[in-house]
Amino acid sequence: MSFQSKSILKTVAVTLLCGLLAACQTTGLKPGSIQTNYAPAGWTKKTSNGFTGYVCHAPRCKSDRLIAHGPVKVSGDMEKAIKDGVLSRELFNAIANVYNIASKDQEKITITRRVVKKDYAGFDFTAYFKDREGRIWMTGRFIIQDNRGSVLVAASRSRSVANTYFKRYLSNTTIKRLP
């Protein structure tokens, strides 16, 4: 297995961990809830197990980059709990801190802010994990509608690049509530 494949697998594993932090049961928003026209020239689109990703490998990009969205398992009316403040940024950071300590600084996730919109609620987060070449940074958003959830994520070797591509992805993406 190549180094790039291992890095992508680790990125997917951290994304799944992020999903576990969001609780468990129903997966994914309704089909068509997330619409994007994000597809930069030279990037490869891949779909697997409900996740859709856009990958750009070096030398096309200065370093490997990944943008993806996919389902997250949730239970109950998580959207209402987030909007009512029952599930807070502080609570999720306390849960994540247990994992961060257990990984001995090899992996870390931090919820950066609560997001409440007309069509959904959720949390923005940053995360990283270490491999032989250093850290792989991720910036993302959990999107919750009633008892369904998805995650949007951007990953790169650079924190600022991950942030930039995440913002670009969000600016080219609409999230709507379907009946």
Per-residue pLDDT 10s for the chain (179 aa) are: 455 555 655 555 555 555 555 444 456 776 767 777 777 778 888 888 888 888 988 788 888 889 998 898 888 889 999 999 999 999 999 988 998 888 888 899 999 999 999 999 999 999 999 988 899 999 999 999 988 889 999 999 999 999 999 999 898 888 888 77
91 phi and psi angles, rounded to 5 deg: -65, -50
Which residue range forms the structural domain that includes residue 160? 3-175
**Which tokens go with 24?**
């468990």
CATH code of the domain containing 44: 3.40.1000.10
Q: pTM of the predicted model, to two decimals?
A: 0.78
Structural domain count of the chain: 1
Model pLDDT, residue 22: 46
**Which one, of 174, 70, 75, 85, lies nearest residue 121 by Cα?**
85
Beta-strand (E) ranges in 26-95? 26-27, 34-36, 44-48, 51-56, 65-74
